[in-house]
Structure 1
Amino acid sequence: MKYMLLISHGDPGAWENLSEEEQKALPAAYQAIEETPGVTPGQWMQPPDTATTVRVQDGRTLTTDGPFVEMKEAIGGYLFYEADDLDAAIELAGRIPAARMGGAVEIRPLNQ
């Protein structure tokens, strides 16, 4: 089964609360995730305030700068993971640093 893992970052101040040693360990932790067999790395995204939200109403395209609603968690990145089952995807999601830093990882099966 192939899954998409949507990585949400929680508290934007969480990074500043980490020790220097913890901050230096994060890139290696993400690199280890990307090197896991079955993982297809995605891309990290810019912060939500750089977004443009698009809606179509009555045939008109409307745009709004930034996210449309105030949110505590925002998608910061994603990856794809081909695994035997959901339990394997959950184990991988638990290794993603954002999940331990006030964020969350949403796992969605992909249509095959």
Structure 2
Amino acid sequence: MQYVLLIYEDESVYGPDKNGPAMQPIRARHMALVDELGDTRLGGSGLKATAVATTVRTEKGQTTVYDGPFAETKEQLGGFYLIEAPDLDAALAIAKRVPLAANGAVEIRPLIPPMPR
């Protein structure tokens, strides 16, 4: 089964630049995990800061485009892993290994199988 591991953290711990020195040690830990996971990892990526996000919201049939994230929260979606795991317990074991710089959360969501064409 495929799962997505959504990584939520307070992006301010990395400073204004996600490529700055605060990000280097955590990036190294992510690269080590990627190497350990091998073919279990199907994909994934870090995300740029919410300051460059754009949100399309539909309410009562009206669509509006906003600069920034959908909601102001303490933690932001900072990246994800797409993995293949036999069950939720195996996905949980991997999620517990995802590096976080400080406080944060990793949400585990099974993917809906693709619809046949």
Alignment CA distance shift 1:50-1:2 (3 Å): same
The aligned counterpart of 2:18 is none
1:49-60 to 2 correspondences below 5 Å: 49-60=51-62
The aligned counterpart of 1:96 is 98
The aligned counterpart of 2:43 is 41
1:1-112 to 2 correspondences below 5 Å: 1-10=1-10, 12-13=12-13, 15=14, 25-35=25-35, 36-37=37-38, 38-98=40-100, 101-112=102-113
- Displacement after TM superposition at 1:12 (Å): 2.1
- Contact 2:11 / 2:76 at 8 angstroms: preserved in 1? no
Alignment CA distance shift 1:57-1:39 (3 Å): same
The aligned length equals 105
- Displacement after TM superposition at 1:33 (Å): 1.9
**Which amino acid in the other structure matches residue 94 of structure 1?**
K
- Displacement after TM superposition at 1:90 (Å): 1.0
User: Structure 1 vs Structure 2: percent identity of aligned residues?
Assistant: 40
Specify the SS of the correspondent of 2:29: helix
Specify the SS of the correspondent of 1:34: helix
Q: Which runs of 5+ in 1 are unaligned?
A: 17-21
Alignment deviations for residues 39-88 of structure 1 (CA, whole Å, 9 cap, x no partner): 12312111112111111245432111112432111111111111121111
Q: Which runs of 5+ in 2 are unaligned?
A: 16-21
- Contact 1:44 / 1:76 at 8 angstroms: preserved in 2? yes
State the Cα RMSD in Å: 2.2
Alignment CA distance shift 1:64-1:111 (3 Å): same
